[in-house]
Each structure stands twice: as C-alpha cells, then as structure tokens.
Amino acid sequence: MVLFCAWSAVLAQGPEQAFQRGNALYQQGKFAEAAGVYEEIIKSGLVSGELLFNLGNAYHKTGNMGKAILQYERALRLMPGDDDLRHNLQLENLLIVDKIESTPRLFLWDWWDGIKEGLSLRASTWVAYGAYVLLIVSIALVVLARSFALRKAGVIAVFCTGVLFVLLLSVLVAKGIDAGRTDEAVVIAGITTIKNSPDAASSDAFVLHAGVKVRITDSVNSWIKIRLADGKVGWMEKSAAEVI
C-alpha cells in the first residue's frame, strides 16, 4: 500500500518526472522500486522504447530473467536499431536454461528479417514516403521530358524507384503486422511443465524455464498451445507466460 501511494504520487507529477524518478531510484540501486515506477507509467497508457528498455534493465537487476527478456523484446519492437538493447537481450538470452535451436530455413528469410529489424516502424514510414515521392517525381520526368534521353532516364528512374517503393512498402506493412502481433510470448514462470493437452492431468511433454520465447498457436480456457523455435509443441497455462 505504501509503494502504491508512492507510485501514485510520482505519477501525479507527470510522466516525464515519473520517468526521471524511476531512473533516480535505479541509480540508487533500488531496482524493484524503479521497476514499480516504470510499470505504473505503462499502466497509465504511456509506453516508449526507452521506458521498456529501462524496465527490462531493472528486472535484470532484480534477477527476474523472464520479465527482463519480456520487456527487452517489447522495447525491440519500438527500437529495432538500438545496439545497447540488442546487446542486453543477447546477454540475457545466454542465461536461459533451455537451449533451443531454431529449425533451418532459407537464407532469404534471414535477409528479410535483417531488413525489417534495421528499421523502426516510424523510420519505415518515412523511408517509404520518401520512395513514393521519388517515384512521383520520376513519373513526372517521363511525362514532361522533351528529349528522348531525359525520357529514357525517367523510365529507368521509375523502374528503380518503383521497385524500391514496393520493397519499402512491404517492409512497412510487415512492421505494422509485427507491431500488432499477439502470438508471441515469453515464459515468465521460473519453471513450467508443458502438457500434451490442455489439462493439468494430461501427460507431460517437456519442461520450460523462464525467458524462453514461444509462439502461441491456440488457446483453450486457461491454457495456450505453444510452438518452440525447434518445432516442439505443447500446452501450458496462460499465467506462465506473457504476450510480448
């Protein structure tokens, strides 16, 4: 109750002041209190990559690996190009008990993911808009050009900018879909037993520990069906994981 009152008082000063207060608590080594302040800011409806990054750091300091990775993953959707964030997430992933190897896939998918991860949703929007403007200018050049050489250059420009615009628009659409995804989650329970069916009395399939990233493929009452990167599937209780 005391902590709740303290957080409410902080938020009453404004989100920016609350964020600075959380940072001050973090610097003082009061990591649990800092995490509480950050969480209250998020509950008020204000979310940013920096806020989620700091929250992940606070959870890391308290030893809550599952929550740390969860917040890092959420921050990554807003700040895909942040090297410090990626570094912290990689280090945290090294501490996960379960070492799950991804199934092999075509290099084109890795190339596509690399393009998406290099741009934030906002940056993708602006870059796609810039490509669209260049495409319009190129079309105008073809229409208005008085010489064959200029028209030829315009046609080449239309082709190049058209391909670029389609690619960037595809990236923007994919980023938008990723930002709204609700089928990815992180295990936050220290240890949880995965079942072969959505029933506590069902036979055990395997065990997972905190920090593992899973794909949700189905849901029944208080159970979710998950798929791991290596292809394993099973059912787990919803409370053991949290959607990114």
pLDDT classification of 53: cutoffs 50, 70, 90: very high
What pLDDT is stored for residue 1 in this prediction? 46
- Sheet containing strand 191-195, edge to edge, reads 204-209, 191-195, 233-237, 223-227, 213-220, 184-187, 241-243
* Mean pLDDT taken over the chain: 89
More confident residue, 87 or 181: 87
- Predicted pLDDT of residue 16: 86
Lowest mean pLDDT among 2-16, 37-51, 193-207: 2-16
pLDDT at position 214: 96
Q: What pLDDT, on a 0 to 100 scale, did the predictor assign at position 13? A: 59
CA R_g for the chain: 23
pLDDT band at 192 (very low <50, low <70, confident <90, very high): very high
The mean pLDDT value for 193-210 works out to 95
**Angle of CA points 156, 157, 161, to nearest 5°:** 125
Contact (CB, 8 A) for 72 and 92: yes
- Domain boundaries along the sequence of the chain: 2-94, 107-179
Is residue 180 scored above 70 in pLDDT? yes
Give the CATH number of domain 2-94: 1.25.40.10
Confidence (pLDDT) at 39: 96
**How many angstroms separate the Cα of 33 from the Cα of each of 66, 69, 72?**
18, 19, 19
- For 114-160, the pLDDT digits (tens) are 777 777 778 888 999 999 999 999 999 899 888 888 899 999 999 99
